[in-house]
Amino acid sequence: MGKYSIEEFINKTKQDEGENEYFELETPRILEVNLSDQVWAKAGSMISYNGQIKFEREKMLEHGVGKMFKKAFTGEGSSLMKATGNGRLYLADQGKKITILELDNDSITVNGNDLLAFEPGIEWDIKLMKKVAGMMSGGLFNVTLKGSGKVAITSHYEPLTLLVRPGENVITDPNATVAWSGHLQPDFRTDISFRTLLGRGSGESIQMEFSGDGFVIVQPFEEISSSGTSS
C-alpha cells in the first residue's frame, strides 16, 4: 500500500471506533459527542452524525423568561441547539481548535462566540457586560457555566492561559479573550493612544482587566462576530 494511497489516508484519518467518552476530541478541531440522551451545542456546529438524533433550535422560553430577554438584548449572539437521541455526533466551528474542560462543582465564563457544547446537567446564564455596551458594538456577551460535567470551548489556534494572582492583574483585548474563572469579574478600561501607537487605527482601545485569584484564557487572534457584535 503506497504512502499516499486512499487506503493509507483512510487509516490515518478515520474515526476511532473505540472511543466512548461523552466528549472526545476526534481531531484537534472536531468534537465527537457519544450521545445517549441530549447535549446543548452551538447552532450550526453539526458537521456529521450517525444513529437516531433529533435537532431542535432552542425554544424561546425553554430556559425561562429572564434568559429570553437577555438573549433578545444581546442580539442572540450565540444561539443554541439541542441534540437528542442515540448515536455519534460530530461538532466543529469554523476550523477553530477545541478544548474540553471538565467542571467539578466549579464555574467558568466563556465568550459567547467560543462556546461549542456542554453537558445538559450544567447550569448556565447569559452575562452582558453593561459597562462596555456603549463602547463596543452590541456590548460583550458571555455565558457563565457552573456545576459538574464537560464543556467544549473553541479558540483560533492554540490558547494561552494567564494566571491572575492578588496584586498581579492581567489585562487583555476583549476580542482575544476566550474564557476566565467564573468568579472573576473583569473591569473595562480605555486607552486612547494604545491602538494609535501600534499603528492600528485611531480611537479608544478597550481593555479587560482581571484582578483577584484565577485564570484567563486568550487566543492569538482578535475575533469579531459576523453580526458586528464584538465576540
122: DSSP letter: S
| Per-residue model confidence (pLDDT) at position 205 | 78
> What does the angle CA 3 – CA 7 – CA 12 come to, to the nearest 5 degrees?
75
Residues 6+ apart with CB under 8 A from 26: 15, 16, 19, 32, 90
Q: Assess whether pLDDT exceeds 60 at residue 41.
A: yes
Q: What is the pLDDT of residues 108-155, one digit of tens each?
A: 999 988 999 999 889 988 877 766 655 555 457 788 999 999 999 999
Give the type of residue at 8.
Answer: E
Mean pLDDT of 204-209: 82
What class has domain 18-218? alpha beta
Tell me how crowded residue 82 is: count the other CB atoms within 10 A of its CB.
17
User: What's the CA gap between 62 and 75, in Å, rounded?
Assistant: 17
The domain ranges of the chain are: 18-218
DSSP SS3 for 73: helix
Identify the residue with better confidence: 59 or 10: 10
How much is the pTM?
0.83
Task: For the sheet with 187-191, list strands across it.
Answer: 170-172, 205-210, 187-191
